[in-house]
Amino acid sequence: MNSVKEKINQQIEQSNAIDLLRNLINIPSSDPPGDTRTIADFLAKALRAKGIRADLFSSDPTRVSVVGRLKGKGGGKSILFLGHLDTVPIGDSEQWSINPLGGECHKGKIYGRGSSDCKGGVAAMILAAEALLKASVPLRGDIILAMAAGEETLSEMGTAFLLNKGVITADAAIVTEPTTLPAELPVNPHLQIFIASRGMIIFEITTEGKAVHAKIAHQGVNAIAKMSEIILALQNLKLDHIRHPFCGTPSLNIGLIDGGTSSQIVPDRCRIILNRNTVPGEDLSSAVDQVTATLDDLMAKDNFLKAKARILTREDPVEVSPTEPIVTILNEAIESALGRKAGIGGMIGTNDSRFLIRQGIPSVICGPGITTQSHGIDEYVEVESVRNAAKIYALAAARYCSYNGSIYPENAFPFKRRRE
Ligand SMILES: [Zn+2]
């Protein structure tokens, strides 16, 4: 076995992954409100104590992100690891069977809000960088560790801010969100490298009616009743002719409705919020047209139906080629660490890779934890998956950062290349 790989593994096995992860879970960082000052401060100090440079950046006084950096000696490619510090709220803590901020460890699993999404990934990237440093692995390019605020509230105050300010950039990136599919799914292997992510178009649709007293309802126009026709038509829209190999078929969800004031008044206004998930490669203007045409068709048939649609948010789907060097190198690192390759897949949701890919940084998503644990009650991450992710990140970074601009020198590989 290669000594560099052995040294990395040894460092990670000796590291105190459980304590690091427990400390991160103990510090609340729910978003909203999104205050990451304490956890960012803790991480900056922890990184500096390990000999890794760390700086704090904030788009507002409470949304603080941490960026750590291991400098290479130059002449190589740089790699960015990107995770997030904020979590979704705990929700009803009565429903949890353990303390959501306790970081309790049972049978190899650490429980708590954010354990899987995404504090496990944050811990793994830190353990990886520490192992590379302690094992004195030579690096040509830099390793950047970005731990962003505000991911659960669309990232404008975290990753987008760091990119726009020029604080983070790299030749490739690994987003450390959980990517192990649940064991009950008939897929093998369950660990995935996600190379594509869905996007979304959020519409607000309003109907306008005519308010009159309920006792003369026939003289009014009921905006809720008119909206119900729109809802039925939208629910019947055909989407199954669109299919992406990794992100599947797009979906449509009406997630909010409000309208009316009293049973005594015919409502003159009703509003719904619609989330139209999009997949890479689909015609996005058609996705918009399909919704507006549905409204136009109904209005053409009914003079009393008045409706308007407007787009509140649009995040386009993204994908990178499966032949990108970062995909190949990451999967070879996985094979070296685990003895088997990962599957190539897509994320059925948006994530921060979209900002990186839009800036031309080839980015994949691969991290410890099971995808269905994110945002759930009794969220957990397996300690073993965090250690494995740390080994994988260290091996992938060591190889990627040894790239000298033309070829990956054989002698710079920390592990053996597979013979073709
Ligand atoms: Zn996440």
Alpha-carbon distance of 344 to 179, in angstroms, equals 10
Strands of the sheet containing 109-111, edge to edge, are 105-106, 109-111, 380-382
Q: What is the pLDDT of residue 332?
A: 93
Whole-number Å distance, alpha carbon 118 to ligand 1 midpoint, is 5
| Mean of pLDDT over the chain | 94
Please tell me the distance between residue 381's alpha carbon and the centre of ligand 1 in angstroms: 13
* Tokens matching residue 179: 């990517």
Distance in Å, CA 375 to ligand 1 centroid: 9
* pLDDT, mean of residues 308-317: 96
CA of 88 to the centre of ligand 1 (A): 9
Q: For the ranges 17-21, 127-131, 410-414, which has the lowest average pLDDT? A: 410-414
CA of 117 to the centre of ligand 1 (A): 5
**Res 420: pLDDT:** 33
The structure's pTM equals 0.90
The tens digit of pLDDT for each residue in 86-103 reads 999 999 999 999 999 999
- Taking only the tens place, the pLDDT of each residue in 133-149 is 999 998 999 999 999 99
Q: Measure the CA–CA gap between 361 and 380, rounded to whole angstroms.
A: 31
pLDDT value, residue 55: 98
**Helix residue ranges, H only, 270-352:** 284-301, 325-338
Decide: 247 and 279 in contact? Cβ < 8 Å.
Answer: yes
pLDDT tens digits along 146-203:
999 999 998 999 999 999 999 999 999 999 999 999 999 988 899 999 999 999 999 9
Q: Identify the band that residue 407 occupies on the pLDDT scale cut at 50, 70 and 90.
A: very low
**Cα of 282 from ligand 1 centre, angstroms:** 25
Q: Tell me the Cα Rg of the chain.
A: 24
111 — phi, psi (to 5°)? -105, 150
> pLDDT value at position 403?
65
Domains of the chain listed by start with CATH number: 4-197+318-412 (3.40.630.10), 199-315 (3.30.70.360)
- Cα–Cα distance, 88 to 152 (Å, whole number): 6
CA distance linking residue 189 with residue 396, whole number of Å: 19
